[in-house]
A and B are shown apart, each in its own frame.
Chain A
Amino acid sequence: AAGVIQSPRHLIKEKRETATLKCYPIPRHDTVYWYQQGPGQDPQFLISFYEKMQSDKGSIPDRFSAQQFSDYHSELNMSSLELGDSALYFCASKRQVTYNEQFFGPGTRLTVL
């Protein structure tokens, strides 16, 4: 069965650079969540989208932006990268009408040098 796809899986950037992370939900899933997990930390919610509209906002820095496209894939854009942005970024998808279950992608490991 198709799973949530994230790209790239690994990314290395310098401070002050920009990065774009992509999340492709399971087919027919209309909701995407983005989470950030710092080293040794529990995951923190960043932002979510339903039907291409932002639905919830968590601890996403102003330097980050995200959107969901017409094919339901989502992109997380990160600018002016800082060392503290080094983390595992993973997304999860679900169908809004189904009961709660979120399916997780493998994550993108971002390292900022």
Chain B
Amino acid sequence: KNEVEQSPQNLTAQEGEFITINCSYSVGISALHWLQQHPGGGIVSLFMLSSGKKKHGRLIATINIQEKHSSLHITASHPRDSAVYICAVSMNSGNTPLVFGKGTRLSVIA
């Protein structure tokens, strides 16, 4: 069983829809990261969370440490949001390498 589970694996949405991607993890963590990767492209860090909620533009990330769960929300989705969104966690020591989920492939259709 992967230590980081994401759902859904694939998601297709109409432009303007509100999107939620979920991430659950099974181990103690010091931080959770939400990453974005466009097709054939490198990885961009969207958020790093250890508690609560963060917002950047149309993106919102939340984390519930007790439930070992995080969500990434995209409001007013746009075709340029189409990408793979990856949840990754830093284990307890904080300086350990990231453990990645398998990603959620999002397609936003105009």
Interface residues of A (CB under 8 A from B): 31, 33, 35, 42-45, 48, 50, 55-56, 58, 88, 90, 92, 94, 96, 99-107, 109
Q: In the complex, which residues of chain B have a beta carbon less than 8 angstroms from the beta carbon of A104?
A: 35, 42-45
Q: Confirm or deny: B100 has a beta carbon within 8 angstroms of a beta carbon on chain A.
A: yes
In the assembled complex, the Cα of A98 lies from the Cα of B26 at a distance in Å of 25
Residue of A whose beta carbon sits closest to that of B88: A43
Which residue of the partner chain, among A48, A99, A101, contacts B97 with CB atoms under 8 Å?
A: A48
B30 within 8 A of A: yes
**Binary CB contact string for chain B from 58 to 92 against chain A (1 if under 8 A, 0 otherwise):** 00000000000000000000000000001010100
Given A33-B97, A55-B95, also A101-B45 (CB < 8 A):
yes
Report B-chain residues with C-beta under 8 Å of the C-beta of A101.
31, 33, 45, 48
Report chain A residues within 8 Å CB of B97: 33, 35, 45, 48, 56, 58
- List 9 interface pairs A-B (beta carbons < 8 Å), by A numbering: A31-B95, A35-B97, A43-B43, A100-B48, A100-B90, A101-B33, A104-B35, A106-B41, A107-B41
Residue of A31, A92, A94, A101 contacting most chain B CB atoms (<10 Å): A101
The answer to whether B100 and A42 touch across the interface, beta carbons within 8 angstroms, is yes
